[in-house]
Structures are given as structure tokens and as C-alpha cells.
Amino acid sequence: MESLTPSRAAELLDRATASRILVIGDLMLDRYITGAVDRISPEAPVPVVLVEEESSAVGGAGNVAANVAALGVGCTAVGCAGRDPAGDDLRRALEAAGVETDGLVLTDDRPTTVKTRILARRQQVVRVDREMEGDAPRELAAAIIEVIQDQVARADVMVLEDYNKGVLVPDVIAAAMAAAEQRGLPVVVDPKRRNFFGFEGATVVKPNAKELSDALGDFLHPGDSEWMESTRKRLGCENLLITLGERGMALQTASGGHVRVPTVARAVYDVSGAGDTVSAVVAVVLAGGGTVEEAAVLANHAAAVEVGKAGVATVTRAEILEHIGSL
């Protein structure tokens, strides 16, 4: 395919600002505790971190939503949080990122998923997780489905972002896909192992290489168009977009087209959150009327910007366009 020009990219991003994207999935709160290490604990052979700074940000599906909002596109996040202080922090973090929280379902059944990273001199020392990974109980799933059916009327594109934390159970997936089909909405899916083959009919399924290899139980052949087409049909999606890290991306389209998108990252500082950025930008480009091929190329540029930043981060329209124009 032809390269994506800065003017065409700008046109697609500008068009998308009149749209609204519904992001459904596992919402998380990322906490960061940063400090200095000057000694080893006398109690155990571990570093002692003297805390200097603490901060919070949205993670998981919330990071996809934050990336959408950072591009100036309306976004509503649908998921659950516990009735706990972390749930309050998650709501505030989403709102601070410009994401609507009307779709946030509060529950007493499970705590808010929190991932706390302790860093010293920008290096992660340890991560502490608070979460419940089991499937959402029937009552909670029903409440999430009700929110989806209410919110879908305002959406132009739907994103299903699975982190295997229990929100995207089969009933929720089926209801979301049915609601999108009824409204004719494109659906972008980032699947995980538990329900990997449950998104038949999706517009774009976007696994990374490890996720897809684990799900198939086999090696990947992203350069083989016949293998890509067979895998696309097995997943039952219109378009299959595999992110391959330093090898870029591989796209197989509904029309049988096979596209390799080479990496354009100039420097890789931290790959955390790059997949979320790709999901968000693919959805935004589709909302702006772009093709799947254009969505893949523009998302590849956005990911290149994101991996040049420390930690999980969002990217802006200006950063993406600058990156495209610099090559």
C-alpha cells in the first residue's frame, strides 16, 4: 500500500473528533511509587526505597480509553470497579484523562484492580497486584450488559479490550457484539487467552504475537498470506492485525489482502502500553472513515511514539503527525 501522508493522517484524525468510541473491558488503576535506593535492608537482601513521589494513572482498558481521549475523540469507558477508595481514584483518573465514566459499574463483589509499581532510578523494583481474576458473577455481568445497551446508541466504534480480569465473560461479549451489529458499528478487539475465539464477526482482531501463538498452540507465520488468511477465518473476524514488536505488524484483510507494516520506532524506551495505543488509534481511524490499512499504518506510528516514552503513556495528534512527517 502507499505510505500514509501527514495530510491524510491529519484528515483522518480531524474527522474522528466528531465521533464517540465506546471502550469495554477490564479497567485498572496503575499506581507508581518512585524513590531512591541507597542501601539494602538489614532484614532481607532487598533494596530499601525511600519514597519521593507517588502518582496514579488509568491502566488496562482504561488506558485505551485515555489514548482515545488524548486524540480529541469522545470516549466512554465501560467496566467495573469496587466500592473502595481505589475505585474512587480510578473514576477520578479516567475523568482527568477526559474519559466519560457513565459506564463505570460499581460492585461489592470484587475490589478495584490495582497494580502498584515501585521504581528506583526509573527501574522497576517490584510490582504489587490487587485483583480478582475470576469471571464477573451473573448479576454484575447483567449490569454491565445493561450499561452497554444504553451507551451503544451514542457510539460510532466499539472497542473490546480484554485483560482476563473477568469483565468480558461470554455473555457480555455476546451482548456487546450483538449491540454493535444492530447499530452497524465497527468493532476492534484485543483478545486474551480465556475467550480468544469468542469474537466472531469483529471488524478487527488485534492480538500480539505471544497471545496469538499461545491461543493457537503453534508458531506464527505472519509473512505467509495463506497462513494469515487461514488464521483470520479461524478467528471469524473481518481483519486480523498482529502486532509483532520490533518486527512491526502483519495485516490480513477481509478482501484477502496481506500487508506487512514495518516498525518505524526510532528509539524504544518502554514497550508498556503500546498495544493499548494501537487499539485506540485503530478505532479512531475507523471512526474517521479510514481504511483498515490506514488504521494499521497510523497506529504503527503512534506505537513508535509511545514506546519512546517511560511507562504507560498516551500520545497526541501532534506527536503522531510529527513522527510521520519526520520519516
Q: Is 214 within 8 Å of 232 (Cβ atoms)?
A: no
Task: Spot the catalytic one: 135, 156, 162, 276.
Answer: 276
H-state helical runs in 236-291: 274-287
Asked whether the beta carbons of 145 and 105 are under 8 A apart, the reply is: no
User: Does the annotation count 14 as an active-site position?
Assistant: no
Confirm if 211 and 191 have CB atoms less than 8 A apart: yes
Helix axes 170-183, 138-151, angle to 10 degrees: 10
If you write DSSP's letter for every residue of 217-228 in order, what string do you get? TS---TT-HHHH
Query: Side chain identity at 56, as an amino acid letter?
Result: S
Determine the 3-state secondary structure of 289 from DSSP. Answer: coil
What strand order describes the sheet that includes 157-161? 100-107, 74-82, 20-25, 157-161, 187-190, 204-205, 239-243, 249-252, 258-261
Residues with active-site annotation: 276
